Chain A
Amino acid sequence: MTAPPDDCLARNAWICGKYLSTRRGILTDAVLQHLELTGLSVLIALVVAVPLAVLARRLRAAAGPVLALTTVLYTIPSLAMFSLLLPLYGLSASLVVAGLVLYSLTLLVRNILAGLRAVPEETRQAARGMGYGPLRLLLTVELPLALPSAMAGLRIATVSAVSLVTIGAIVGHGGLGNLIYTGMNTYFKAQVLTASVLCVVIAVAADLLLLGVQRLLTPWQRA
Chain B
Amino acid sequence: MTTLTDAWHWLTDGAHWSGADGIWHRLVEHLVLTVVCLILSCLIALPVALVLGHLGKGGALAVNISNIGRAVPTFAVLVLLLLTPLGQYAEGPTVVALVLFAVPPLLTNAYVGMRGVDPDVVRAARGMGMTGSQMLWRVEVPLALPMILNGVRIAAVQLVATATIAALAGGGGLGRIITAGFNLASTPQVVAGAVLVAAFALLVEGLFELGERLAPGHLRDRSTP
Q: Which residue in A83, A169, A207 is a CB contact (below 8 Å) of B75?
A: A169
| Contact-size category for A | 35 or more
Q: How far is the CB of A169 from chain B (nearest CB, A)?
A: 7
Query: What per-residue 1/0 map shows which CB atoms of A182-211 lie under 8 Å from chain B?
Result: 011001010011011001100110010000
The interface stretch among B105-113, B118-126, B195-203 is B195-203
Chain A residue contacts of B72, Cβ below 8 A: 163, 196, 199-200, 203
**CB under 8 Å from chain B, chain A span 125-165:** 156, 159-160, 162-164
Distance of A203 Cα from B195 Cα, bound (Å): 30
The answer to the question of A79 belonging to the interface, with a C-beta cut-off of 8 Å to chain B, is yes
Q: Among B76, B79, B165, which residue has its beta carbon within 8 angstroms of that of A77?
A: B165
Contact B73 A177 (CB under 8 A): yes
Which residues, 130 to 178 on B, are CB-close (under 8 Å) to A? 157, 160-161, 164-165, 167-169, 175, 178
Is the CB–CB distance between B198 and A84 below 8 Å?
yes
Contact of A207 among B71, B76, B79, B80 (CB under 8 A): B71
Min CB distance A202 to B, Å, is 9
Q: What residues of chain B lie closer than 8 Å to A162, measured between beta carbons? A: 71, 73
Which residues of chain A come closer than 8 Å to B198, judged between CB atoms?
75-77, 80-81, 84
Question: What is the bound-complex CA distance between A79 and B177, given in angstroms?
Answer: 11
Closest to B197 in A: A80
Q: Is B71 in contact with A203, judged by CB distance below 8 angstroms?
A: yes
Q: Are A83 and B73 in contact (CB under 8 A)?
A: no
A167 interface residue (CB < 8 Å to B)? yes
Given A72-B202, A79-B168, A159-B70, check contact A192 B79 (CB 8 Å).
Answer: yes
Tell yes or no: B94 within 8 A of A by CB: no
Which of B16-24, B44-52, B185-193 touches A?
A: B185-193
Known A77-B165, A184-B169: A166·B75 in contact at CB below 8 Å: yes
Residue pair B71, A84 in contact (C-beta under 8 Å): no
Contacts of A204 in B (CB 8 A): 71
Q: Tell whether A214 is near chain B: CB-to-CB under 8 Å.
A: no
**A80: chain B residues within 8 A (beta carbon):** 164, 175, 178, 193-195, 197-198, 201
* B200 shortest CB reach to chain A, Å: 9
When C-beta atoms are compared, the residue in chain B nearest to A12 turns out to be B83
Question: Within the complex, which residue of A77, A170, A177, A195 is in contact with B161, where a contact is CB–CB below 8 Å?
Answer: A77
Known contacts A163-B71, A189-B83; is-contact A79 B178 (Cβ 8 Å):
yes
Q: How far is the CA of A160 from the CA of B76 in the complex (A)?
A: 13
Considering the chains assembled together, what is the distance between the CA atoms of A77 and B158 in angstroms? 8
Report Cα–Cα, A219/B28, bound state, in Å: 53
CA distance A77 to B204 in the complex (A): 12
What 9 pairs between A and B have smallest CB-CB spacing? Answer: A83-B194, A77-B161, A196-B76, A203-B71, A80-B197, A87-B3, A80-B194, A163-B73, A77-B164
20 A-B contacts (beta carbon < 8 Å): A75-B201, A76-B197, A76-B201, A77-B161, A77-B198, A77-B201, A79-B161, A79-B167, A79-B168, A80-B197, A86-B187, A86-B191, A87-B187, A162-B73, A166-B73, A166-B74, A166-B76, A169-B75, A192-B76, A199-B76
